[in-house]
Every structure is written in C-alpha cells, then in structure tokens.
Chains A and B, each alone.
Chain A
Amino acid sequence: MTEHRDADGRETVGRDAMERDGAGVPVAARDLEMVETLLGDWAAARRVEPGTDFLSRVLGEALDEQLSLRAAAASSTVATQAGGLRGFLARLRDGWQVAGGLATAGLAGLWIGFAAPGLASGLTSGLAAGLGGDESADETLTLIPSYEVAASFLDQIEGLPGQ
C-alpha cells in the first residue's frame, strides 16, 4: 500500500493503493451487499435510543449549569464594580483625611505665625505647667513655642480614626 501524508502530516492513502487492495481481495458485489446487511443488522441490534428520562436529566443539568455560569458571571461583575466603588470610597476617605490634615496644619501655622509672642509665651507656660512646671521644661518650650504647638496639632491629626 502506498502511504502519503497530507498537509497536516496525517496518513492518507493514494487511489492507486485502494485499487490494488481491491484487486488483491476479489469479491462479488453480492458479497459486499451481504456484509452491508450484516453490519446494518448488527448496528440495529446494538443501537440505543436515548429515553426521554435520560434526555430530561441531561437537559436539566445543562440548564442548572447554565444558571450557575450566569450567576458566577453576574457575581464576578458585581464584585468588580463593588471593589471599584469600595476602592474609590477608600481613596476618597484617605484623600479627605490627608486634605483635612494639611488644612489643619496650615491653619495652625497661620495661627502661630500671626499670634503675638506674648500669647505664644503664655501658651508654652501653660503647657510647661501641665508638664509639671519644671523650669528646664519651661525654658525648652519657650525656645521653640511654635514647634510644640504645631506638634500638638499634628498629634491630634495623627490620632484621627483611619490613620
């Protein structure tokens, strides 16, 4: 038999080979018909026709799976959207906190910058008293009054929920 390969590399058989095979096994048409009859009877005896119960079960499972697929797809879409919304809100919240912190710090700076030295001094004295009235502490705070007040504001800011 002459073997060839098609474009996909699969085995094909040339027409000449088929003719030689045919010539090698001389058979009458009636014998070929007999074989066809035997194969047909055999196939008919073994043929199975699916019952309606079976088809109903298969279809029921198909529709169940289809619903599951759709539910999974819908759930995935909602999760993506919710995730996006949650992310947006989180970013928004963080942004407001940062902006709020900056605004507070800015206002504190303005207040410190315009405040009269006497007021700042009084404030530091009060703070020193709160720290125990120690002289060295009072001196230290007096040296950098604006730093301490700003630090106090920043502590408050850092103490905000979500930081």
Chain B
Amino acid sequence: MPLDLVAEASDEDLLARYAEGDPAAARALTLRFAPLALRVAQARLKDMAEAEDVAQEAMLRLWRIAPEWRAGEAKVSTWLYRVTANLATDRLRRRGRSVALDEVAEPEDDRPGAEAGMMSTARQQALTGALDTLPERQRQAVMLRHIEGLSNPEIAEVMDIGVEAVESLTARAKRALAGLLMPRRAELGFGDD
C-alpha cells in the first residue's frame, strides 16, 4: 500500500488491511496508536517501564482482534483507550495502589535554576489542587483532553456523552479553574496586569 494512502486511510481501513497481511498497515497503526496507548498508560502508572509493558499488551490485543473487528461498532482509538486504561488499572491494583485518574506525579523540571523549579512546582500544585475541587465529570473531561490527549469525539465516546456536552464540560471546567486560580495570579508568576 503506498505511503500516502496509508497516511490517509481510516483507522478501520488500516485494521482491515493489517488483518489481510499488509505490513505497511502494521507500521501505520503502530505509529498512529502506540503513542496513545503509552500516554494513557503513563498517565495512570507514572512509571515508563510499566507503561510500555501495558501499552505493548494493549497493542497486542489490537493486533489479535483485527481479523474480528466489526466496522462501525466502536472507534479504534476509543477501544484502545479503554483496553489500555483497564490494563493499567489492573496493574495498579496488583501494585496495591489506589487508582486515581488525576493522581499527579511531580513533573520533571528541566529548566535551569531552583527558582524556576519552585515556580513550576507551585503552579502544578495550584492547578491540581484546583482540579480536585471540580465536579468529577468536568475534571475527567479536562484530564482526557489535556493530559491524555484525546480529541473531543473520543472523549465523548469514553464518557458516553455528546461532543457538545464535552465542549461544555471543558469550557465550564476552565472557567471554574480560572475563578479558583485568579486570586493567585501574582503568586504563580502571572502578574496583575
């Protein structure tokens, strides 16, 4: 299959071509979906080695289900998101840790200077603290959009709501966050003007 056609092919077409034995489809699907699986796994596990294991397992399940994939029943990305999230949850349970979608590890700060590092940490803590006060569905929509990188239609499928509802939840969440963080502008280094 020519590369330009691979790039333009839909997810379902690629999966069908994979099942038919097209190696170009295998490459395209890997590049298209392995990063998503890794991102979802890493957001939950916060351990790259474990996240890679889980993402690889999720992708393996995708390869195995390819011949039986029924077009139109689910989006490939949503299916993969759910499989990866479930595998990561199982892994967390085995670890004995609580599962929290918005559990946030301290970000690595590669900017020079202790002051910058402290500011970055303060911002992350302020943001996650504000996120914790949001209604669950608003927080979930923001997490899926900004941390796990899903598109609005994908979030709509995951949350089983309409795309318009996703947009509304995200917009309201951001307004609520703005309201919560507004008094801390100067503290967070944004200035007053």
Contacts and interface: CB of A to CB of B under 8 A. Distances in A.
Contacts of A38: 123, 126-127, 177, 181, 188
Interface of B is mostly: helix
A47 to B, nearest CB: 8
Report the interface size class on chain A. 35 or more
Contact of B172 (A21, A42, A55, A57): A21
Interface string A37-56: 11111110111111000110
A118 interface: no
A36 B178 CA distance: 9
B179 A25 contact: yes
B169 to A, nearest CB: 8
B43 A46 contact: yes
Contacts, number: 152
26 contacts: A10-B156, A10-B161, A12-B165, A13-B169, A18-B172, A21-B171, A25-B172, A25-B178, A25-B179, A31-B178, A31-B179, A31-B182, A34-B181, A35-B181, A39-B174, A42-B123, A45-B124, A50-B34, A54-B52, A58-B34, A58-B55, A61-B59, A62-B27, A63-B26, A65-B63, A69-B67
